Structure 1
Amino acid sequence: MVRIARAGAKVAVIAQATLFGAVAMLPLSANAQSPLQVLQQHQKREEWKSRLDETIKGLDAFKSDQPTLSADTVAYLERSIEKYRAIVANGGWAAVPNPPQKLRMGARSQIVVALRQRLMTSGDMDANLSLSPSFDSDVDEGVRRFQVRHGLTPDGILDRGTLGALNVPAIVRLRQLETNIVRVRAMSGFLGERYVMVNIPAAEIEAVDNGVVRSRHTAVVGKIDRQTPILASKIYELNFNPYWTVPVSIIRKDLIPKMSEDPEYLARNKIRIYDWNNNELDSTQIDWNTDDATKLQFRQDPGEENSLGSVRINFHNQHQVYLHDTPSKSLFTKDYRFDSSGCVRVQNVRDLVTWLLESTTPDWSRARVDQTIASGERLDVKLDDGIPLYLTYVTAWSSPNGVVHFREDIYNRDGLGGSMPEDGPVVVLQ
């Protein structure tokens, strides 16, 4: 064992000597670093890389199998409110100045000092760390932690979205918590043994089974001018390889303008036109300069280009909305996922469908779900028992491990007059 340890140490010394010697042979310019400085920077980068791996693994601690709306969420929120009241009473936090470009690990700037102070105040960094201008692994870890709590991609980069969230005043965050505890209290009763919850501001879906989250799904929800409604209902049916019947609102807002610009749009997207006697019409029979098209039916054939993707999940409601798959998977990777006309698009929808079917219709398995979709067969499956569904609007909540989460008040329902700092949105970062 001693020999192995000594051998390892000898190899490390040789490696450092080799690097040192190779650098030493390079010509030095007036601004060049010494070989020793290069070696020190190399060692620091290796240390940062090791810390980065630990940070990414540490972010898993943010994940909880407890649902956003649990019997204990009110208590978690109450503790968070006390914490943020103390932050506000102590003066809140100062805004982080706009850097001329994105900042990431390895950067050095006085703005990093302000960033450190901001992250320390909200508990995203250890308050005992230094106020160095160096964007080191500690800052990277703090930024990633902050990003996870605010629904941003945890890449450790100080970009426009992260800076905007950092500069929301502490008093606004406190008001968010106080507003949302009222919402959470209203839903703190029994929601069902098994239920699905869509949190609209988070653009996220939870499938909950006996108080435990069985799966979480990234979602795409309604645009600001085509909002996903807040409601409670029951999922009663699944449509495999569905047709899409275009709602009148989309005919008016989307199809008519697109057909005026591109007469081949419907044919290219395999959308057929029918009158109310189910007679198929040709697009040339319609005056696209009028609203005549809103008096007809438009139906898209099943297939890869179908706007509903491979499956549609139906629940009772008067808004003509539903959960569904989508062929546009790239939207799930974005931080801003408010892009639908009110329906909810579901990432990894097959996992959710399998879970919906497994207890109500036992002869369904994931393999059968995959096989049905692959076959292209049009199939409607009724659930033996309706599964409760909640479309909710929660912009701030707390988890069992004390982590406080915030989301943008995208539909302006918090009544706080917006959450941007007084000097407006960030516009600099390139």
Structure 2
Amino acid sequence: MKKRTPMAGRSFATYTLTDTTLFRMLSLLHILLFILAGVARVFAQGQEQPGYAPYSKARMEQAILRYESIAQSDHWHTFPDTLLLRPGDSSLFVTQLQDNLLLTGDLPLDSSYNTPDYTSGLSTAVKLFQRRHGLKPDGVVGPNTVAALNVPPAKRLEQLRINLTRYDSTFVKEQEPYAVINLPEYKMLVVDSGQVYLQMRVVIGKPTLKTYPIHSKLDMVVLNPYWQVPTSIAVNEIVPILRRNPGYLAKKNMILERNDSGSWVRVNPWEVDWQSINRANFNYRITQLSGLDNELGQVKFPFPNRLPQYLHDTQAKALFNHPHRAFSHGCVRLEKPVELAYYLLSRGSGYTTEGVDKLWAQGKPNHYVRVRKPVPLHMVYFTSWVNEQMEVHFREDVYGYDALLEKQQIQEPAQQKAISLTE
């Protein structure tokens, strides 16, 4: 149907440029110009240092300015939880969606604006919004996208401010190269020579079995690793199976050992009374030997830390297809572990890709190879950040650290007030 001009009618139902619509557009434009002016001031005050910075304090400060303006405006809309919009649909909610995406910068200012039609241009903007929030970028406004849209800008502003404090306490930009894993992003980057040399998806620990932020170094590669089964997994997951079938260990290429006065002695699992074994009297260790079915896959990367955390390959490749990947028992599973091994062992160790392949082909089990030039490793926790394309990203507070920090910030002023009243 041919779009009507303002002179053809002034009814909102016809989606012409009514006085109300024009006022809304001018108000939005005013807010956007104010945001851009503020961002320009901050950018002029604090230019980025040379090199690649995936997580930047200066860019976060610019984002905070933007969300301060959005939070103070009255143009942010919320939507019914049951809303479902697909490209090609027509709905009164489309113009409200356009308002939100203009404010966040997902929808360009030159887009077709005064229409109830869900256009391809709007779909592109929705996909960008979805990517920025760690959602599947399918362009469909469904439950997860609606939930993200319904988070108040003031809440996003607080999220940005909380994460800004982490730049001072958890992440200092290192001399390149370095590796960084942002846990809520489920992503690892290796930065070298001013660019991303390698990036991959990761699986991290469940909320009940957290992967903890840490600063360390990648200084060792273990080819064809053994898997020393953690006691918690052995007691909670494997012992119940052994009560039914002690042959499970042989099937999984695992061996059982008992601690005998400080020495580990091989034990036949069929000779153990598994019905009587529990956490209190579990005096065993279970080791899965190298092989195609090893839970750690082809390679693991231990690094100095006081926790039993390391990076490793995995058999469960399908988990990398999930948008939210907190599934492990605390270690970090890598999407591209072989590529990481090639990179680390090429640094001063004299190994080419072919050389590493030859080491693997030898089949030596649990083969430790030292990295001659260790690479700093930062495992960080940012639920919001701004990338080099100035896209403001938000993620789920998977371990509740944001909530704890927010609670501390609320309590500290109250404590200070209480102290002042007693002085």
Report the TM-score range of the alignment, normalised by the length of the smaller protein.
0.7 to 0.9
Report what 2:374 is aligned to: 386
Q: Structure 2 residue aligned with 1:409, among 397, 403, 422?
A: 397
TM-superposed CA distance for 1:371, in Å, is 4.1
Aligned pair in 2 of structure 1 residues 289, 114: CA closer, same or farther (>3 Å)? farther
CA gap 1:172/1:374 in 2 versus in 1, 3 angstroms? farther
CA contact (8 A) 1:175 1:416 kept: no
- 2:75–2:100 contact (8 Å) kept in structure 1: no
Note if 1:186 corresponds to 2:172. no
Alignment partner of 1:195 out of 167, 178, 187: 178
Q: Does 1:254 align with 2:237?
A: yes
2:118 corresponding residue in structure 1 = 135
Indicate if the aligned counterparts of 1:251 and 1:294 stay in contact, CA closer than 8 A.
no
1:96 lines up with 2:101 in the alignment: no
Alpha-carbon distance change, 132 to 67 in structure 1, aligned in 2, over 3 angstroms: same
Please, which of 115, 118, 124 is the counterpart of residue 106 of structure 2? Answer: 124
Which segment drifts farther, 324-333 or 207-216? Answer: 207-216
Secondary structure of the 1:221 match is strand
What residue is the counterpart of 1:328 in the other structure? 316
Identify the residue that residue 86 of structure 1 maps to in structure 2: 69
Q: Which secondary structure does the structure 1 equivalent of 2:64 belong to? A: helix
| 1:346 aligned partner, one-letter code | L
**Alpha-carbon offset, residue 261 of structure 1:** 5.7
Contact (CA 8 Å) 1:68, 1:399: kept in 2 or not?
yes
Unaligned runs of 5+ in 1: 1-64, 419-430
Distance 1:204 1:168, change over 3 A: same
Separation in structure 1 between the aligned mates of residue 250 and residue 388 of structure 2, nearest angstrom: 52
Which structure 2 residue ranges, 5 or more long, are not aligned?
1-50, 407-423
- Partners of 1:236 and 1:386 within 8 A in 2: yes
- Percent identity over paired residues: 32
Specify whether residues 261 and 196 from structure 1 end up closer, same or farther in structure 2 by C-alpha distance, changes over 3 A only: farther
**Match in the other structure for 2:334:** 346
Q: Which residue does 2:264 correspond to in 1?
A: 278
Alpha-carbon distance between aligned partners in 2 of 1:262 and 1:140, rounded to the nearest angstrom? 54
2:13 matched residue in structure 1: none
Secondary structure of residue in 1 paired with 2:402: coil
1:318 corresponds to 2:290: no
Distance 1:160 1:288 in 2: 46
1:173 maps to: 156
Cα deviation code 1:265-292 (max 9, x no counterpart) = 4333222211233332232314245326
| Distance in 1 of aligned mates of 2:230 and 2:314 | 16
Match of 2:131 among 142, 148, 166: 148
CA offset digits 1:162-188 (Å, max 9, x no partner): 222222221111111101111113356
Q: Kindly report which structure 2 residues correspond to 1:29-40, keeping only aligned pairs within 5 A, or say none.
A: none
Q: Number of residue pairs matched?
A: 349
Match of 1:300 among 254, 274, 288: 288
Q: After the TM superposition, which residues 1-12 of structure 1 pair with which residues of structure 2 at under 5 Å, given as runs?
A: none
Deviation at 1:113, TM superposition (A): 3.8
Shift of 1:302: 1.2
Which is worse superposed, 180-189 or 242-251?
180-189
Q: Distance in 2 between matches of 1:417 and 1:114?
A: 33
Q: CA deviation at 1:416?
A: 7.0
Deviation at 1:364, TM superposition (A): 1.3
State which of 87, 90, 95 in structure 2 corresponds to 1:108. Answer: 90
2:209–2:330 CA contact under 8 A, matched in 1: yes
Higher relative contact order (CA 8 A, sep 6+): 1
Helix, strand or coil for the counterpart of 1:385?
Answer: strand
Q: Match for 1:376: what amino acid?
A: G
- Which secondary structure state, in structure 2, belongs to the residue aligned with residue 411 of structure 1? coil
Q: Give 1:263 deviation, angstroms.
A: 4.8
Q: Which sits farther off after the overlay, 139-148 or 90-99?
A: 90-99
Note if 1:373 corresponds to 2:355.
Answer: no
Distance in 2 between residues matched to 1:315 and 1:137, nearest whole Å? 47
Partner residue, 2:18? none
Compared with structure 1, are the counterparts of its residues 411 and 131 closer, same or farther at alpha carbon in structure 2 (3 Å cutoff)? Answer: farther
CA distance in 1, matches of 2:102, 2:276: 59
* Cα 1:138–1:263 shift into 2, 3 Å: farther
TM-score w.r.t. the length of structure 2 is: 0.76
Secondary structure at 2:190 match in 1 = strand
Superposed displacement of residue 235, structure 1: 1.8
Question: 1:142 & 1:340 partners in 2: Cα distance?
Answer: 33
Q: CA deviation at 1:375?
A: 4.8
1:358 maps to 346
Using the TM superposition, give the Cα deviation of residue 296 of structure 1 relative to its aligned residue in structure 2, in angstroms: 0.7
Distance in 1 between the 2:405 and 2:217 partners? 33
Residue 175 of structure 2 aligns to a residue whose secondary structure is coil
Deviations 1:175-214 (A, max 9, x none): 1110111111335644233221111110111112244321
SS at match of 1:278: strand
1:232 aligns with 2:218: no
Q: Name the Cα RMSD after superposition.
A: 2.4
After superposition, what is the alpha-carbon deviation per residue over 1:366-408, rounded to whole angstroms, capped at 9, x for unaligned?
Answer: 2333444355332210112332111110111112332111111
Q: Distance in 2 between matches of 1:259 and 1:371?
A: 37
Distance in structure 1 (CA, Å) of the matches to 2:94 and 2:300: 47
CA deviation string 1:65-84 (max 9, x = no partner)? 93323xxx111111110000
**How far apart, CA to CA, are the structure 2 residues paired with 1:264 and 1:159?**
47
Query: Which sits farther off after the overlay, 145-154 or 232-241?
Result: 145-154
